[in-house]
Structure 1
Amino acid sequence: MSAPAPDTTSAATPASFTRAGIWHGMKLTLPYSVSAFPFGLAFGAAAVAFMSPGEAALMSALVFAGSAQFAVLSLWVAPLPLIAIVLTTLLVNARHVVMGAALHPFLTGLPRWLVFALSGGMTDGGWAITLQEMMRGRRDLGILLGTIIMQWPIWVGGTVLGAVIGSSGLDPKRWGFDVLIAGVFATAVVGMYRGRTDVLPWLAAAAATIATMLWLPGNWYILIGGLAAGLTGLLRRAD
């Protein structure tokens, strides 16, 4: 059976918000959510080196942004460099501006408070699933809520379990969390590769990160490396 053809009706068709959509989003997100559980374990195990298990769980529950949470861990020292943490989080999550813009045409007619509230819990996977379904003609923002309902408890639960293991005196390396954390970032990098246009920003990020690690104290290499990549990509698009 061939896949359903993309919907060709106007993107401005008003979206709805139904229980059926919520359930549909949950079912579509289940495989993705289960595969994300080890990443929550890895974050929890890594986070207890910088904060208590309760704080790690609270961060995952309130922030709910895996890549950003990993990125700010090494900045989590006393006193907290709040500006660096905020800027790093903004850089890591800047892609959400584009993701939100892609969904916006499908969300006409819905209350702004509802759109804003659900946008706060939107993940990469949830966005992709929701956008695909809306392009197929299913204008139901309940799908996005369903992705959040399925992913949030698995991410938080993985964090809690990883934090308990990491704070129990067991060596995370015996459980392979050190390899898992490296794998998280390696997989993310490979998955985001879109072609040769990405090579120069990646090289700029690597060069800026290494130079900062050699010449500046602390963890500024995270922020400066991200800025170097972003500025390089912006200049390339401006050419």
Structure 2
Amino acid sequence: MATDGLAPPYWSWAGLLLGVRAMLPLLPGQFVFGMAFGALAAQREFSLAEALAMTSFVYAGMSQFVAVQSWPEMLTPSTIAALVLVTATVNVRFFLMGASLRPWLGPLPAWQIYPPLAINTDGGWLLATRYRERGGADASFYLGGQLLSYCMWVLAAVPGYLFAERIADPRAYGVDLLMPAFFAALLIPSWRGVSHAAPWVVSGIVAVAVTSLAPGYWFIIAGAVAGTVTAGLMND
């Protein structure tokens, strides 16, 4: 039985296709973002096989950019530890995102739910939480969107790598703003009025403040924790 008071989770082909369709509007931005990673990998002199291996097995979006940009000329225990730390900093939000899905997906056996959680993405998570808030119970919805997102991300690295010289500076074309813009657009249907906006505001203020005070990607952790604590303290 789900602990959020809604229907328990189950699997179906219909839910899988529904999740795929829900993910379609995000694909153009994700494809261009994936191309930008392929271009960056080429500029950093990774081979195409190495770029595909990273994007297939690491599959971590922004932290892949951070890791490639920070890639040392020689791998040593200390440089590897630094890469692990910086990518963990960027990806720590997924602990909170995964925990938020437990009330819905928790009743499923571990072997059914942990593999899909390994390919969790920001957009897929947000779509899934919106689906659940509306009473949806089919866990296949979550899986369908995430699988399509994974395939698109991996494939997008290839043309990005091959045409690296033409997109040498993704920010010149606004590529770095595509995914944040899509994510912000997806938040609009989740708006519940000013009284529920406090976590969003606190998270944004803390993230901006930490950006100016601390180098690196600590603003992600600080913003996520601040917003989560604020939401937990609210008497809904």
TM-score (norm. length: structure 1):
0.75
1:124: Cα distance to partner? 0.9
1:199: Cα distance to partner? 3.0
In the alignment of these two chains, the number of paired residues is 210
Query: Structure 2 counterpart of 1:82, which letter?
Result: I
Structure 1: segments with no counterpart, 5+ residues: 1-8, 210-221
1:115: Cα distance to partner? 1.0
Alignment partner of 1:31 is 2:25: yes
Q: Distance in 2 between matches of 1:234 and 1:135?
A: 22
Q: Distance in 2 between matches of 1:83 and 1:188?
A: 33
The answer to whether the 8 Å contact 1:25/1:144 transfers is: yes
Q: Partner of 1:57 in structure 2?
A: 52
Q: Partner of 2:124 in structure 1?
A: 126
Residues 70-101 of structure 1, C-alpha deviations (whole Å, 9 max, x = no match): 12122112323211111112111111111111
After superposition, the CA RMSD in angstroms is: 3.1
Map 1:112-191; keep pairs closer than 5 Å.
Answer: 112-166=110-164, 170-173=165-168, 177-179=170-172, 180-183=174-177, 187=181
1:227: Cα distance to partner? 3.6
The answer to whether the 8 Å contact 2:92/2:221 transfers is: no
1:146: Cα distance to partner? 0.4
The answer to whether the 8 Å contact 1:202/1:229 transfers is: no
Q: Distance in 2 between matches of 1:165 and 1:68?
A: 22
Structure whose alpha-carbon radius of gyration is higher: 1
The answer to whether the 8 Å contact 1:14/1:108 transfers is: no
Residues 164-219 of structure 1, C-alpha deviations (whole Å, 9 max, x = no match): 112xxx3434xx6342454358759988993255334423333432xxxxxxxxxx
TM-score (norm. length: structure 2):
0.76
Alignment partner of 1:205 is 2:211: yes
